[in-house]
């Protein structure tokens, strides 16, 4: 019996889901480069050829994991933003904390999303899922920027990309799995909040005129 409760060689009622679960498990243990389709099949309890009914190669399976990661990521960001409640600036800060929390809570998905060389043009669904996650940040940025007088508003896309880059850099450096993260003499959330505040103050979006 395999860890997924099926006999080896048995055709799963939901083989696709079992393979995705196996891939996530392997990525969490060894990183995105540390799994093969054959090893995922072994964990799922099926023959080495069975996965190819659903995934043409290892990249396709990895892309499916990344796609699901972006879907979870978008949900987490959307919940943190909460439509800008109770206040757009506070909700924006919550969005940053949710970014870091996701990197800690879902390291396998995060690695598949950001630490691979998947050719996104070959996986349109993956690109769309990534765009939806970024869309939460862009929408929140639009709301925040709209608080400025029209002639003083910076480009929303530019601001969203700056915040995305800052959040991603801190998450990648300081929120990875134990043993890989850099040491930091403060919580990563404090570092991101300080950087966010300085950046938003420079645009007149926080801390007064």
| Domains of the chain (ranges, CATH numbers) | 15-53 (1.10.10), 58-202 (1.10.357.10)
Q: What is the pLDDT of residue 169?
A: 95
Banded pLDDT at 45 (limits 50, 70, 90): confident
Read off the pLDDT of residues 81-94 as tens digits, 9 standing for 90 and up.
999 999 999 999 99
Give CA 175 to chain center in angstroms.
12
Banded pLDDT at 182 (limits 50, 70, 90): confident
Q: Between the CA of residue 162 and those of 25, 47, 103, 159, what are the distances in Å?
A: 32, 46, 18, 5
Q: What is the pLDDT of residue 9?
A: 42
Q: What is the pLDDT of residue 54?
A: 82
Q: Compute how many other C-beta atoms are within 10 angstroms of the C-beta atom of residue 55.
A: 20
Judging by beta carbons within 10 Å of its beta carbon (0-12, 13-18, 19+), is residue 145 exposed, middle or buried?
buried
- Burial letters for 174-208: b for 16+ Cβ neighbours within 10 Å, e otherwise? bbbeeeebeeeeeebbebbeebbeeebeeeebbee
Q: What is the pLDDT of residue 85?
A: 94
* For residues 147-165, average pLDDT: 96
Is 2 a residue whose pLDDT tops 80? no
d(CA 91, CA 128): 24
What is the reported pTM?
A: 0.86
- DSSP codes of every residue in 124-175: HHHHHHHHHHHHHHHHHHHHHHTTS-GGGPPPHHHHHHHHHHHHHHHHHHHS
Banded pLDDT at 179 (limits 50, 70, 90): low
| Alpha-helical regions (H) of the chain | 15-30, 37-44, 58-81, 88-105, 107-114, 124-145, 156-174, 188-202
Q: What is the pLDDT of residue 188?
A: 95
Q: What is the pLDDT of residue 6?
A: 40
Is 10 a residue whose pLDDT tops 50? no
With vertex at residue 114, the alpha carbon angle to CA 75 and CA 196, rounded to the nearest 5 degrees, is: 65
Read off the pLDDT of residues 112-128 as tens digits, 9 standing for 90 and up.
999 888 888 889 899 99
The length of the chain is 209
Is 14 a residue whose pLDDT tops 90? no
Range of 3-7, 19-23, 174-178 with top mean pLDDT: 19-23
């Amino acid at each position: 019996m395999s860890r997924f409760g099926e006999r080896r060689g048995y055709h799963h009622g939901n083989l696709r889901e079992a393979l995705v679960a196996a891939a996530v498990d392997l990525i969490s243990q060894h990183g995105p480069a540390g799994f093969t389709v054959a090893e995922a099949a072994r964990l799922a309890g099926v023959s080495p050829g069975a996965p190819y009914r659903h995934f043409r190669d290892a990249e396709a399976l990895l892309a499916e994991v990344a796609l699901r990661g972006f879907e979870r990521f978008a949900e987490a960001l959307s919940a943190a933003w909460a439509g800008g409640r109770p206040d757009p600036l506070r909700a924006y800060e919550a969005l940053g904390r949710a970014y870091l929390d996701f990197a800690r809570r879902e390291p396998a998905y995060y690695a598949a999303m950001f630490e691979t060389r998947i050719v996104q043009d070959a996986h349109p669904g993956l690109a769309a899922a990534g765009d939806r996650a970024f869309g939460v940040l862009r929408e929140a940025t639009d709301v925040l920027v709209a608080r400025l007088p029209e002639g003083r508003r910076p480009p929303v896309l530019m601001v969203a990309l700056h915040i995305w880059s800052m959040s991603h850099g801190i998450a990648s450096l300081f929120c990875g799995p134990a043993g890989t993260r850099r040491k930091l003499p403060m919580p990563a959330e404090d570092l991101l909040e300080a950087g966010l505040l300085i950046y938003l103050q420079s645009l007149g979006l926080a801390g007064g005129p």
